[in-house]
Structure 1
């Protein structure tokens, strides 16, 4: 339901705005220095971390580097594809860097996936296991609707893995 309105939704509210980038390090610096967004927490995900990886409905292995930062109630994500077939690499090849998807955090990933599939959304890419204890899941869908956006359903892990880096690095006082 939308707060204040009696309108059921298949997922929501939107909590994440994500962009695909070619160089994660340069993009994190630019977003911090030019827009004041940060701190960024970055991770590398791929085989060995992720399980049940799919791309366009088929099993596939892929890897990415991504960084997350919150501004008020919106999380920004920057994604740099590294290897394997992926919707992020496809986006870079077809459109270049830029806005890629909108993300919704869900408590029950399987149920949320069923709702968007029933609504006619087409699955694009998915995986699970990015949390420190092997939990956490994500799935991307092409809306093929007037929304004109890729939708990501995210089940946050109970505990995050150690980040690859944090930017900017917090200064410590002695």
Structure 2
């Protein structure tokens, strides 16, 4: 049997695009009866090199993470920077944006394999890559360079 492109099929994260990350995090925390996580602005300092549709972008975004027993739930509030998150909200409104798989030390290699499989790379930073698979799978695939 051939090795799967994504390696071990382990979903580590599900992410939703929202209009207000603080409001969504507060409501989700209330639903689960857990503390509200801090909302952070990713790449506020510009330290991550972000590319969207082949062009550099600041790639700033507001994020809230819930580290549950079996998966991380992420709420994403786009900024005005050109990103897949901003376009998703403008075109589809709030909703599930991506599911993520771990690709430690194999992110770019796996992204290249997925591109050959027919899912083009649409955005990436130093530790993540998004591949367009919504037409067939209904969701974007994310590769995370994490343990």
The answer to whether the superposition gives a TM-score over 0.5 is yes
CA distance in 2, matches of 1:118, 1:19: 27
CA distance in 2, matches of 1:28, 1:115: 34
1:113 to 111, 121, 128: 111
Secondary structure, counterpart of 1:40 in structure 2:
coil
1:48 and 2:8 equivalent? no
Give secondary structure in 1 for the equivalent of 2:30: helix
- Matched residues in 2 for 1:29 and 1:81: separation? 17
- Take 2:38 and 2:145, find their aligned partners in 1: how far apart are those partners? 18
**1:46 and 1:64 in contact (8 A); partners too:** yes
Q: How many residues are matched? A: 144
Aligned-pair CA distance for 1:8: 3.1
- Deviation for aligned residue 1:42: 3.6
Paired position in structure 1 for 2:131:
141
Q: Is there any run of 5+ residues in structure 2 with no aligned partner, and where?
A: none
CA 1:146/1:63 → structure 2, altered by over 3 Å: closer, same or farther?
same
Normalising by structure 1, we get a TM-score of 0.73
User: What displacement does 1:127 show?
Assistant: 1.0
Gap change, CA 1:98 and 1:36, over 3 Å in 2: farther
Q: Tell whether 2:137 aligns with 1:156.
A: no
Q: Which structure is higher in helix share?
A: 2
* Partners of 1:49 and 1:156 in 2: CA distance: 20
Q: How far does the alpha carbon of each residue in 1:44-69 deviate from its partner, in whole angstroms, 9 at most, with x for none?
A: 11253443211112222221011111
Residue from 46, 56, 59 that aligns with 1:62: 59
Unaligned runs of 5+ in 1: 1-5, 129-136, 158-174
Partner of 1:170: none
CA distance in 1 between partners of 2:77 and 2:20 (Å)? 6
Give the structure with the larger strand fraction.
1
Q: CA deviation at 1:37?
A: 5.7
Match of residue 131 from structure 1: none
Change (3 A) 1:8 1:67: same
Structure number with bigger Rg: 1
Query: Could you tell me how far 1:100 is from its partner in structure 2?
Result: 0.9
- Measured on the aligned residues, the alpha-carbon RMSD in Å equals 2.1
Give the CA deviation at 1:148. 2.3
Task: Pick one of 67, 76, 99 that aligns with 1:102.
Answer: 99
